[in-house]
Amino acid sequence: SRYSPKMPLAVDCMAKLIHCKVLKSSGRLKSHELILSYGLALVRFVNLITERKQKMVSIPLRQLAREVDIPVWVVDLRHELTYRKLPQLALCRKG
């Protein structure tokens, strides 16, 4: 699926999340590696979904997320993953 440039965004994001679940169930990754995997999937999801709504003028990410019904706490989690310390695995999985 990752080689198809015409892959629908929802399918691509879901594939990333399923990949995280497979990695978790394999037991081969440590907690911080799972956090990074879930985090990457979440950041990619929020960025790609809101990117489509971005216009010529910069619009705050929170506003864009609200327009497509992404909860604010998911945007905050994305911010944590991108700019601050890594959150707990349970929070990443919830995201």
pLDDT in tens, 44-70: 888 777 777 776 667 788 888 888 888
pTM for the full predicted model: 0.71
Place of tokens 């978790």: 24
Q: What is the per-residue pLDDT for 4?
A: 57
* 22-46 per-position pLDDT tens digit: 877 777 777 778 788 888 888 888 8
What distance in Å separates the CA atoms of residue 46 and residue 65, rounded to the nearest whole number? 8
Q: What is the per-residue pLDDT for 21?
A: 76
Angle of the 31-51 helix axis to the 72-83 helix axis, nearest 10: 120
**Is residue 13 pLDDT above 80, yes or no?**
no
29 Rama class: left (phi>0) / alpha (psi -120 to 50) / beta: beta
Phi, psi of 15 (to 5 degrees): -60, -40
Q: Which residues contact 59 (CB under 8 A, 6 or more apart)?
A: 53
Are 41 and 16 within 8 A, CB to CB?
Answer: yes
Residue ranges covered by each domain of the chain: 39-94
